[in-house]
Structure 1
Amino acid sequence: MSGFHDDALEAVVRLALTEDLGRAGDLTAQACVPADARLSATFVARKAGVAAGLAAARLAVRALDPDARVDEPVRDGDAFDAGAALVRVDGNARSLLAAERTALNLTGRLCGIATLTRAYVDAVAGTRARIADTRKTTPGLRALEKRAVALGGGLNHRFGLDDAILIKDNHVALCGGDAAEALRRARAHAGHLTKIEVEIDRLDQLGPLLELVQPGVQSGRAGPDVIMLDNFSLPELREAVALTDGRVTLEASGGVTLDTVRSIAETGVDVISVGALTHSAPSLDVGLDVA
């Protein structure tokens, strides 16, 4: 994913710079800073966190000053303390000031996602549960945000609609309200490498799906690969785990918070998907300090 991520990040940086510079560029720097002035500065973390997307600073700076010197003492995925120097830059002052906000916006956003993900991962340490993201990402930034989740220690759920089949309540409703029927249709359509997940929101929906997992039925491929337990209570999650007995991967989802994720993990589910990793992660506070 590295090459794809790099291309995606560069495209986003260029789009963000175009948006910020507008038709005439940085009027403030042009008015106040001599054209040949130099600037040495450091992108500094105001709070502790996990690094992600630090290349945004380099790409933003060099897009406006190709000859700028950039030093990256912290690597993506590294944990750092408050006050850590994340990226050091030296180059044309006007260019660095014009690139500043784009670099800060992207590094703060992506470090924030990686940092929040690490908190969730740490919260379930010692259980079997893995933390996964969702498709609740910022439009146009999915590749970057999902990589930040991975750098924080989380799993990536579907990247897009074409990765796997995920049968949700609306699909079931259009199949007559029968999740098993929706699954049968999906199996008839899916290729042999395509995984199928079915979302249920009631415990009584589990049994009919588990019946399709019994050995000998289409070589075990009639049932779902994953069952998503949406907004189940803790007792319901525990019962679902007991009934399934390891035959299918179970994913818990819906309203998961840092306060509740440990209790959910201790029910024995395999995966906990958390939309908040991307849709509610606070940006990490990063600033540019002039040397």
Structure 2
Amino acid sequence: MTAPFSLEGFDLDAFVASTLAEDLGGPLGDGGRDVTSESVIPASALFTGVMDSRDAVTVAGLPIAEAFFRALDPDVKIDVLVSEGDQVPAGTDLMRLRGQARAMLTAERSALNTVQHLSGIAMMTRSYVDKIAGTGAILLDTRKTIPGLRVLEKYATRMGGAQNHRMGLWDAAMIKDNHIAVAGSIGQAVGAARAAGIARIIVEVDRVDQIEPAIAAGATHLLLDNMTPEVLRGAVTLVGKRVPTEASGGIRLDTIRAVAETGVDYISVGRLTQSAPAADIGLDFTHE
């Protein structure tokens, strides 16, 4: 039985099974082995341990870690001590567990990898959200995710306080420079998307003179790409709230506040999922 955790478009059981199979060298139940635990740990041995943060972190991924342990020991006793999205100081206990030692040590790396990666994303996201607090701008993630992990990584950005941008190529049109070049013009590209019945049409513009043609053609959202804060401020004034505006391109923690203060509605940052370092989280044996 897995933990009661659900994300749209994410199969927790399949993720756990495939991840463990990768580590065990074969499909679950079909020859996969942890040769270290099998040879060193008696079959009857129990393991009691604590998962804790060595960094100050924004927590994400504990229900998935729990699912890894339960997949190998359905009777494991687990106490989750913090909530998803909590900001906790270094040294915080996140989870206590007691179960079959072989199972716990076999699942340990997969569980920790997931929590470290997702908490790292959430932690970086929270730092960006905090930087733009009070400006009214909303932080967005992007599609710059590790293949196969998008749903989880975008979940982690939400735990850090961001909103999700497109989940994929299916839920909105984003017309960029290459689309425009092939279609012939902004007007032709946006017109074709409208004719196809697409409701959300995001148009990327990197020059102020592209704004009016995009809005006139029917864009519902403008992505203002690689503009300086001074140019952004003028672009936002020109748009005049007719459609939402989004700043994007090369935005860093030390520059995002100036971008947010231009009045843009959204700021998208690819490095949230592309470059976040793993959080330092470990699992240690404890004596009962």
With normalisation by structure 1, the TM-score equals 0.92
Residue 111 (structure 1) aligned with residue 116 (structure 2):
no
Q: Following the alignment from structure 2 to structure 1, what is the Cα–Cα distance between the partners of residues 39 and 200?
A: 58
2:237 — aligned with what?
A: 242
2:213 — aligned with what?
A: 208
Q: Following the alignment from structure 2 to structure 1, what is the Cα–Cα distance between the partners of residues 65 and 97?
A: 9
Deviation of 1:252 after TM superposition, in Å, equals 0.5
Residue 263 (structure 1) aligned with residue 258 (structure 2):
yes
- SS of 2:183 mapped into structure 1: coil
Deviation of 1:12 after TM superposition, in Å, equals 1.9
2:197 — aligned with what?
A: 190
1:120 — aligned with what?
A: 128
Q: Following the alignment from structure 2 to structure 1, what is the Cα–Cα distance between the partners of residues 14 and 275?
A: 24
Matches within 5 A, 1:61-210: 61-176=69-184, 178-191=185-198, 194-210=199-215
Deviation of 1:122 after TM superposition, in Å, equals 0.5
Once superposed, which parts of structure 1, at least 4 consecutive aligned residues long, lie more than 4 Å away? Answer: none
Q: Tell me the matched-pair count.
A: 277
Paired amino acid for 2:180: V
Residue 281 (structure 1) aligned with residue 284 (structure 2):
no
**Is the Cα contact below 8 Å between 2:121 and 2:273 reproduced in 1?**
yes
Q: Following the alignment from structure 2 to structure 1, what is the Cα–Cα distance between the partners of residues 24 and 188?
A: 54
Deviation of 1:274 after TM superposition, in Å, equals 0.5
Q: Following the alignment from structure 2 to structure 1, what is the Cα–Cα distance between the partners of residues 25 and 80?
A: 29
Q: 1:6 to 1:78 in 2, by over 3 A?
A: farther
Q: Which residue of the other structure, out of 43, 49, 52, is the alignment partner of 2:51?
A: 43
**Is the Cα contact below 8 Å between 2:6 and 2:12 reproduced in 1?**
no
Give percent identity, aligned residues only: 49
Matches within 5 A, 1:11-50: 11-23=14-26, 24-50=32-58
Paired amino acid for 2:161: G
**Is the Cα contact below 8 Å between 2:52 and 2:93 reproduced in 1?**
yes
Deviation of 1:158 after TM superposition, in Å, equals 0.4
Q: Following the alignment from structure 2 to structure 1, what is the Cα–Cα distance between the partners of residues 14 and 93?
A: 25
Q: Following the alignment from structure 1 to structure 2, what is the Cα–Cα distance between the partners of residues 52 and 202?
A: 38
Deviation of 1:89 after TM superposition, in Å, equals 0.9
**Uncovered stretches (5+) of structure 2, i.e. residues with no partner:** 27-31
**Is the Cα contact below 8 Å between 1:5 and 1:147 reproduced in 2?**
no
Paired amino acid for 2:204: E
RMSD: 1.4
Paired amino acid for 2:57: G
Paired amino acid for 1:202: R
Q: Following the alignment from structure 1 to structure 2, what is the Cα–Cα distance between the partners of residues 151 and 225?
A: 27
CA displacement, residues 206-261 of structure 1 (integer Å, 9 cap, x when unaligned): 12223x1xxxxxxxxx5211000111111110110111111110100011110111
